[in-house]
Amino acid sequence: MAMLFVEMQTHDGHEGLGLSYSKRAGGPGQFAHAAEIAPALLGEDPSDIAKLWNKLCWAGASAGRSGLSTQAIGAFDVALYDLKARRAGLSLAKLLGAYRDSVACYNTSGGFLHTPLEQLLVNAAASVERGIGGIKLKVGQPDRALDIERVEAVRKHLGDHVPLMVDANQQWDRPTAQRMCRIFEQFNLVWIEEPLDAYDHEGHAALAASFDTPIATGEMLTSVMEHGDLIRHRAADYLMPDAPRVGGITPFLRIAGQAEAAGLMLAPHFAMELHVHLGAAYATETWVEHFDWLEPLFNERLEIKDGRMIVPTRPGLGLSLSEQARAWTREKVEFGTRP
């Protein structure tokens, strides 16, 4: 995994921290694109966040308005919101207008396909004991019977009261997805995630219309327009936008507005340190994904209690980079002059 961080300072001493990421290839490309467009921010008013998003977008428009180019913009956009909230003395959630002080959370990192079944049961029980509210399991094995066995075993182990989700990571074709969704109806799942290719909106819509178990998707989409197409097709019950992937908080809020108008539930993907704030600012109850992968990068930790993630009350994101993050830094570049 590669992380892209933006540390921003104004002439009067205010600071902001932003982030984006790439789980596989693309990190060096994000960094290179960010370095090219960063000078466009110099001399601008940091309060004009939407204007600055557009300026950064057009500075790199020849690279496109989705994917890697907007993911690079995302780090600047998050930093601008963090700066604005810090300057106001508010958490990011409060700046945006929070509906709640905590969000429901679920664990993914204990349920990967390579995890043996016995360890899967141990991991799931440990997460519940820790106070995490739900458990998500990866499915999509070549042998579908293994998927069924694992889901059935975890449901029996945890009981009916623990929220349980599954994630196929786009591994099924339409006939397989129909069969598996039908079989999984018996397990009272919160959702079935990415049963089909991320861009198969018609296929996802057919599943959403056919089954009681909600369909969740959206994490792989990288623009407001792509999410708009998904919403118009009614292709999800749970929308799963990823703020860094779509270009930051500015486009995320546009997506969330469309989702709310369509009556969809929201479950932002990954980056819990950011999404805990954005989830708290959505009109209806949200789920936020608990991944502890990024914890070594920050000095602060999120609090989990009674199945919920507590929204930090510190100004902005409430985060500062750790010494470990700085030690792992491979490339950096600086623009402008320090105040």
pLDDT, residue 24, reads 83
Nearest alpha carbon to residue 74 among 33, 39, 103, 43: 33
Q: Domains, the chain, ranges and CATH?
A: 2-89+322-328 (3.30.390.10), 93-310 (3.20.20.120)
Q: Is 194 labelled as part of a ligand binding site?
A: no
The phi, psi pair for 281, rounded to 5°, reads -95, 10
pLDDT, residue 68, reads 85
Three-class secondary structure assignment of the chain = CEEEEEEEECCCCCEEEEEEEECECEHHHHHHHHHHHHHHHCCCCCCCHHHHHHHHHHHCHHHCCCCHHHHHHHHHHHHHHHHHHHHHCCEHHHHHCCCCCEEEEEECCCCCCCCCHHHHHHHHHHHHHHCCCEEEEECCCCCHHHHHHHHHHHHHHHCCCCCEEEECCCCCCHHHHHHHHHHHHHHCCCCEECCCCCCCHHHHHHHHHHCCCCEEECCCCCCHHHHHHHHHCCCCCEECCCHHHHCCHHHHHHHHHHHHHCCCEECCCCCHHHHHHHHHCCCCCCEEEECCCCHHHECCCCCEECCEEECCCCCECCCCECHHHHHHCCCCCCCCCCC
Three-class secondary structure assignment of 136-197 = EEECCCCCHHHHHHHHHHHHHHHCCCCCEEEECCCCCCHHHHHHHHHHHHHHCCCCEECCCC
pLDDT, residue 230, reads 97
Catalytic residue among 33, 136, 138, 227: 138
Pairing relationship of beta strands 192-193 and 215-217 according to DSSP bridges: parallel
pLDDT, residue 339, reads 62
Q: Are 107 and 135 in contact (CB under 8 A)?
A: yes
Sign (positive/negative) of CA torsion 128, 132, 135, 136? negative
Catalytic residue among 201, 227, 269, 290: 269
Q: Are 52 and 80 in contact (CB under 8 A)?
A: yes
pLDDT, residue 63, reads 78
Nearest alpha carbon to residue 132 among 162, 167, 165: 162
Q: Is 260 labelled as part of a ligand binding site?
A: no
269 belongs to the catalytic site? yes
Q: Are 92 and 271 in contact (CB under 8 A)?
A: no
Q: Is 193 labelled as part of a ligand binding site?
A: yes
The CA distance from 210 to 225, in Å, is 26
Q: Which residues 6+ apart lie within 8 Å of 143 measured at CB?
A: none
pLDDT, residue 292, reads 87
pLDDT in tens, the chain (339 residues): 899 999 999 999 999 999 999 988 888 999 999 999 999 999 999 999 999 999 999 987 777 778 888 999 999 999 999 999 999 999 999 999 999 999 999 998 878 989 999 999 999 999 999 999 999 999 999 999 999 999 999 999 999 999 999 999 999 999 999 999 999 999 999 999 999 999 999 999 999 999 999 999 999 999 999 999 999 999 999 999 999 999 999 999 999 999 999 999 999 999 999 999 999 999 999 999 998 889 999 999 999 999 999 999 999 999 999 999 999 999 999 998 776
